[in-house]
A and B are shown apart, each in its own frame.
Chain A
Amino acid sequence: MASITLNTVRKIYAGNVEAVKGISIDIEDGEFIVLVGPSGCGKSTLLRMVAGLEDISSGEILIGDRLVNKVEPADRDIAMVFQNYALYPHMSVYNNLAYGLKNRGIAKSEIDQRVRKAAEILEIGEYLDRKPRQLSGGQRQRVAMGRAIVREPSAFLFDEPLSNLDAKLRVQMRMEIKKLQRDLKTTSIYVTHDQLEAMTLADRLVVLNKGQVEQIGSPMEVYEKPASTFVASFIGSPAMNLIPMKKTALGWEPEQGDGVNFDIRSDASEFIVGLRPEDLEILGDGAPLGAGLAAKVVVTGVEPVGAESYIHGTLGEGGQEVILRAAGKQHYDIGQVLSIAAKQEKIHLFNRQTGKREEEISALQPA
């Protein structure tokens, strides 16, 4: 077990393509870090640099106190779980688990003990004599996990390990990985593009975009205080409503549409206002408006998903699109006009130019 330190790590590919643009992260011993971002954001490249499968163009990577920039993958004391499992097809499950230990000159009895223990933890004991092709996707996934844990490494590296599984199995394995990591207390870096996986697994999330860190923080921090419009739209489902608004002679108006009542005192002349679908309350007729934001929304579509429904609508006729979350039982008609409101502390403000989060709204008194 060890901490992992990334210090302004860069990856520049041939043709001057910069895939990773100077990323620094301090990962504590035993921490579960999830790197999340859309495809092409550099998260896999970063993970592979930690593993030693990609060269580091500049910067430093330390595992524990040891600088590993020039250390071979096998000598970094890490174990990796690959997206397609990467099991050795010609070896039995037992040998797949034992291979890394044999090459490190560990005694046969010790190998046997570790393999059987890992097999027991992952419930693959009865498949030890089988070849990978005789296993189902979920079982292969477990073997890949087993190959990592028998090594008892300083760190686990996961490269989208669940994306080849079906939805149900994915939820199950997600919980098992979390539990396993909690029991073993091994420092882990986990790469995914699935924000739900990221939220549920991480001690800390690292949201990446175009080779740069957008935000580092606990899942709830990132969810409640997204540092930029990118994070705001990437984390959370359905995504946060982002409404560009500008100050006019009549007060704050959305760039597209109308019927929004929002008032703050600020020197800025424009903002992007962020509103999570669940923070938008649907008001009954004649309900009083509190401090915050109120608007009229024309319903354009309803998506019932059981316990709740997502209501798609526009700010005024043909205005900016927004999504609301409503209780599943309530019925709404297309074309119906709803009064909605958001409490002041639930409103996120982002800079229109940079997309970065602005100062807290509570600091801005209503005009």
Chain B
Amino acid sequence: MKRVQYSNPILPYALLLPQLAIVAVFFLWPAVEAVRASFYLEDPFGFGSTFVGLENFKDTLTNSQYARTARFTLIFTVLVAFFSLSIALLLAVKADKVIRGAGSYRTLLMWVYAIAPPVAGLLGVMLFDQHIGPLTELARSLGWNLQVGVTPFDTAFVMVITAVWKQIPVNFIFFLSGLQSVPKSVQEAAAIDCRSGTRRFWTVTFPLLAPTGFFLLIINITYALFDTFGIVDLVVKGEPGNNPITLVYKVFVDGFRGNDLGGSSAQSVILMVLVFLLTVFQFRMIERRVHYN
């Protein structure tokens, strides 16, 4: 790393200041505020607050609804990460083999990436709409009376499908570039050593993709946990009732619909700890991870 020397010792800090200010105002302050609020019982009408210690956490963790949401979030995350990774990998492997018109083919597959999550959610909701959704129509013709927002399973199904659909292009781009960085001569050496293309993929190509795959796994877990807020919100239309929701959405619902700011803050502090652990885990793994060449 090259060290740049400034004649004025304050200048580098001054240059950093705008970024630091943004981090402080939009990330650190709310985080500190959330931690503080998690120890208080907030009056629903804004008339002061009472210190309750760890009561909020105790309430949250013993609440059976919270446990149910946590369980759903776990299942949701596993499904979204698994399907968006595996489908993207399949598409990337197939796209890597396309020779004619490869450029436009890949661009088409990446296109969805340009859609903002709420728009993706909106599209998904429209496709599965009770009255005008073509996919609802399709399901009905197959004998499945799909009722989003009414049957919890159907709601969860649509959430997973939409979230997976939205995430595939990101994974696709990374997998494709990962595949293209596997040296051609290594693939050729494998073609001489191993007859079966499938076996070659799992014994040579896939292990060489592992660093990319691991990075994407973390990205996808984070995505499923946090970035799917917009999709969940649109599918349940802001009023979850007994529909399944994710933990992040529950923070919003309890805080702003239920006016339980203390409990909601406690939940977000728990999520903060979760993110922290995930980050530590990721860095540990990346450090230990073999980096080829």
Contact = CB atoms under 8 A, between A and B. Distances in A.
Contacts of B208: 89-90
Contacts of B210: 90
Interface stretch (A80-88, A251-259, A287-295, A350-358): A80-88
A250 B192 CA distance: 64
A74 B193 contact: yes
A283 B205 CA distance: 66
Interface in B185-215: 185-186, 188-196, 199, 203-204, 207-208, 210
Given A89-B292, A90-B208, A90-B290, A82 B195 contact: no
B292 A79 contact: no
A232 interface: no
Contacts of B207: 90
B194 A53 contact: no
Interface centre among A72, A83, A88, A99 (most CB of B within 10 A): A88
Interface residues of A, number: 24
A147 B195 CA distance: 16
Nearest to B292: A89
B185 A86 contact: yes
A80 B185 CA distance: 11
Interface string A71-104: 0111100111011101111100000000110010
Contact of B191 (A74, A90, A131, A133): A74
Interface residues of B, number: 21
A51 interface: yes
Given A89-B293, A90-B208, A99 B194 contact: yes
B189 A88 contact: yes
A189 to B, nearest CB: 14
B183 interface: yes
A99 B199 CA distance: 11
B204 A74 contact: no
Classify the interface of chain A: helix, strand, loop or mixed: loop
A247 B292 CA distance: 65
A151 B272 CA distance: 55
B195 A72 contact: yes
A53 B186 contact: no
Contacts of A100: 192-194
Given A53-B191, A90-B290, A84 B203 contact: no
B292 A82 contact: no
A133 B293 contact: yes
B193 A90 contact: no
A78 B189 contact: no
Contact of B188 (A82, A87, A89): A82
Interface in A81-133: 82-84, 86-90, 99-100, 103, 131, 133
Contacts of A75: 195
B292 A90 contact: yes
Given A74-B193, A89-B208, A133-B293, A99 B188 contact: no
B186 A103 contact: no
B187 to A, nearest CB: 9
Contact of A73 (B192, B203, B290): B192
A37 B293 CA distance: 31
A72 B188 CA distance: 11
Interface in B267-293: 290, 292-293
B230 to A, nearest CB: 39
Contact of B192 (A79, A88, A133): A79
Contact of A103 (B183, B188, B193, B290): B193
A83 B183 CA distance: 12
A131 B183 CA distance: 17
A74 B186 contact: no
Given A89-B293, A90-B292, A82 B189 contact: yes
A136 to B, nearest CB: 15
Nearest to B100: A14
A131 B208 CA distance: 13
A73 B189 CA distance: 9
A103 B193 CA distance: 7
Nearest to B210: A90
B204 A78 contact: no
Contact of B185 (A52, A82, A90): A82
Given A84-B183, A88-B186, A133-B293, A78 B203 contact: no
Contacts of A84: 183, 185
B188 A53 contact: yes
Contacts of B183: 84, 86
A100 B185 CA distance: 15
Contacts of A89: 186, 208, 292-293
A87 B188 CA distance: 11
A84 B195 CA distance: 22
B191 A73 contact: yes
A135 to B, nearest CB: 13
A84 B199 CA distance: 23
Contacts of B293: 89, 133
Contacts of A51: 188, 192
Contacts of B193: 74, 99-100, 103, 147
Given A80-B189, A89-B292, A99-B193, 11 more contacts: A51-B188, A75-B195, A78-B192, A86-B183, A86-B185, A87-B189, A88-B190, A89-B208, A90-B210, A90-B292, A103-B196
Interface of A: 51-53, 72-75, 78-80, 82-84, 86-90, 99-100, 103, 131, 133, 147
12 contacts: A51-B188, A74-B191, A78-B192, A80-B188, A80-B192, A83-B185, A86-B188, A88-B189, A90-B290, A103-B193, A131-B290, A147-B193
Q: Which 4 A-B pairs have the closest CB atoms?
A: A100-B193, A86-B185, A74-B195, A86-B189
